[in-house]
Structure 1
Amino acid sequence: MKNILIKIGGNAASQLTPAFFETIKHWQKNNYNITIVHGGGDSISTLMTQLNEPVVKIDGIRQTTPTGLAITKMALLGQVQPDLVEAFRHHGLSAIGLNAESNQLLTGHYINQEVFGLVGQIDQVNTQLIQSLWQQNLIPIIAPLAITNQGQWLNVNADSAATTVAKFLKSDELYLLTDVSGIEVHGNILQQLTPQRAIELQTESVIHGGMLPKVNSAFSAVKNGVNAVHITNTIASHGTTISM
């Protein structure tokens, strides 16, 4: 039985095609366990701008104030996640939206409160909850938020959240869906990316901005037992596959 985790970016969420849902159905018929972790960066930024909250990113990570966190929760849990769950249901797939407070699904800690504010990293995942939903043929759709042991909500980079959840679930494959078909170098999509090549491309500023945490998260997942990580814009193509 295969275990696949798909990270859907905020942009990608609105661009899911009928073919995407047909592939998910095909996988489910073959007894694959499917888990979704979603982002929502554009929705968060739009809402922050509308509410006059500054949008500040450092190395692709969103600086998060208490107001920014409240806006992030509004965007992710009030807009992006319900829309995704509805899209899955519309295509005949049973899905359920989950967040950090769902039976302590995601617990974590601050990564650097002085620099990033209320931004965290996931320490623990309630895998039993996710596995129980698989047994009911439900697809968990998870928001990238965590809660500390003291009850403080934290914003988590969606790629980091997806790779951590994939690690805890011992996923066979992780798809990091984005708005590009892979990592492009001189007009060509890289089929494979090794750690050494990644360092070179970071030095050349080919890998920068939001792609930086994506690539770092992908290597972390592979190091922690995920068999293959694909950076792509469709689950029909592997795009750039991360390998050690």
Structure 2
Amino acid sequence: MDKSDKRIDLNCDIGEGFGVYRTGEDERLLDVVTSANIACGFHAGDPATMLRTVRLCAERGVAIGAHPGLPDMTGFGRREMAISPQEAYEMTVYQLGALYGFVRAEGAVMRHVKPHGALYNMAAADAGLAEAIAEAVRRVDAALVLVGLAGSELVRAGAAAGLATAAEAFADRRYRQDGTLVPRREPGAMIGDAAEAVGQVLRLAAAGQAQTVCVHGDGPHALEFASRVRQGLQQAGWRLAPVAGEA
């Protein structure tokens, strides 16, 4: 968070269809958010979807980020897998390379990396996995911002690797008292009311716990939540801009 001008980013996870299957309202969301996390082919996405989404982001001036996940398309990357740090490193490099090719071919720039789903949550708690992901990002492009859950091992590992990092908060997920996310399998994990989502975002932003705010693009209320969160942040004096991170 830039305390001098109250700058904050609003991001969404998009490009999560594949083949003839589409999910979310990507085009409309890209008129609202400032950053997009594009699926890289493991939990969702395919070459055609990646290309289309990169082009949409470039046309709208939305910052492009990679959204690498576990190789589990059936479970949408939200089921934990027993992987080693080396495997996490390899998966991350592979997926960044896939998206980077499309970004480069379109004359665009990749700005950040945010792991997806179970990989994100595993790296939030597991220092070894976090360090492997951070090292993968650093070796691919040390200018990339690494996005992770505020206070997580992933943010700490990114900073230790010399990367710029951005602490993330969620508009549509509930939190435990220790700052971790309520698992999706538990009742009440997801927020279904836009006013509650806006209130949570404003509290976390005011407390300095968010440089970027996520609305899941596959959620049933994604467009409404993103629009209401954007409006709420602006009314509270926040300036919406892509993540800059902290070194």
Larger Rg: 1
Larger fraction in strand? 1
**TM-score tier (shorter):** 0.3 to 0.5
TM-score when scaled to structure 1? 0.39
- Please give the TM-score of this superposition, normalised by the length of structure 2: 0.38
